Structure 1
Amino acid sequence: MSTLELHVDIDVPIDTAWEKIHQVENYPRFVQGVRGARTEAGGRAHLEVEAKGGARAVEAEVSDRGERVMEWLSVGAPELTGSFSLEPIDQNHTRIQARLEYDPDTVRDAFGGPRGFAQTNAIERLVRGDLEHFKEYVERR
C-alpha cells in the first residue's frame, strides 16, 4: 500500500470548509473524474467515476472521527482508504489535509493510467489538483 498526504490552506472559516467537504453531491464540481455523486443511507456515498473511457460506480462508507476528521473506505474493489482533516489556521482560514491509502497497481487496473512510479505521480497530481479545485470552489461561495 502507498500513502499520500497533501494539504491546502483555504480562505474560509473551518465551519464553512467542514460543511462543504460533507456535501458529496457537489464532488463533481471539484473532484476530477467524478461524474455524479450522492449520499445514501447508512453513512454511504455513491460516486460515478470515469474509468478506462467509461463509467464505474464506487461505493464508500463515510464517517466522522474525532474533531473535524472525515474518513472514508471504499466498499469492494478497488480498496481505497482516506480522510480529510481540517484544522483552523485562524478565524477565517483553514488547512485541509487529504490522506489516501491505495495500491497503485489496483488503481491502475480499476481506472487505467500509467504503470509503476508514473502511476504514483499521476495520483499525487490528481489529488493535488482536487484540493486546489476544492479551494477555488469553497472560496467562490
Structure 2
Amino acid sequence: MVQIIETIDVDVPVRTAYNQWTQFETFPSFLDEVESIQQRDDTHLHWKVKVGGVEREFDAEVTEQHPDERVAWRSVGGETEHAGVVTFHKLSDTSTRVTVQIDWEPEGLLEKVGSLVGVGQHAVKKDLKNFKEFIESRGVETGQWREDVPR
C-alpha cells in the first residue's frame, strides 16, 4: 500500500473550499486523471479515470463527511483499491489549508515502478495546485452539499 499526503493553502474561506470539494462531478475540471464522476446518491460515486494511458472505472463510497472539516472515501468493488480523506483547516476568514491523504494499491508493473519514483505524489501535488487555481479564479463554489455523513 502506498500513502500520499499533500497540502496546499487556498485563498478562499473554508466554507467555499469545502463546498467545492463536495461537487464531485466537477473534479475533471481540476483533477487531470479523472475523466468523469457520476454521483449515484449522497454517498456513492462512479469514477472513470485514465492513468498512464490506462483507463479504469470504479465505484467509491463516501465513508465520512463533516461540513467545513473533512470528506473521506474508499473504493468499493472493481480493480482499483484506494481510500482517502481531504481535510479543511481555517487559516483566516479568507484562507484555508487543504490536506489530501490517499492510500492506494499500485496495480501492474507500470504503477508499481511509478509509485517507487513518486509519480502519484507528483500527480496529487499538481491536482491540488489545479484545485487552488480553479477555486481562487472563481472565488465561489459551483454548488454545495452540507449534509453530515457520520463514520
What band does the TM-score fall into relative to the shorter chain? 0.7 to 0.9
Give the length in aligned residue pairs.
135
What's the TM-score once normalised by structure 1's chain length? Answer: 0.86
Q: Contact (CA 8 Å) 2:63, 2:74: kept in 1 or not? A: no
Q: Identify the residue that residue 120 of structure 2 maps to in structure 1.
A: 123
Report Cα offsets for 1:3-40 as digits up to 9, x if no partner: 22110000000010011001011000011111111211
Higher helix share: 1
More contact order relative to length (CA 8 Å, sep ≥ 6) = 2
Deviations 1:40-86 (A, max 9, x none): 12511111111453532121101434561100101122210101000
Q: Percent identity?
A: 27
Q: CA RMSD in A?
A: 2.0
Alpha-carbon distance between aligned partners in 1 of 2:53 and 2:4, rounded to the nearest angstrom: 25
- The unaligned stretches of length 5 or more in structure 2 are 139-151
Residue 137 of structure 1 is aligned with which of 131, 134, 143?
134
- Shift >6 Å, 4+ stretches: none
Q: TM-score, normalised by structure 2?
A: 0.81
Long gaps (5+) in structure 1: none
**Residue 102 (structure 2) aligned to one of 100, 103, 111:** 100
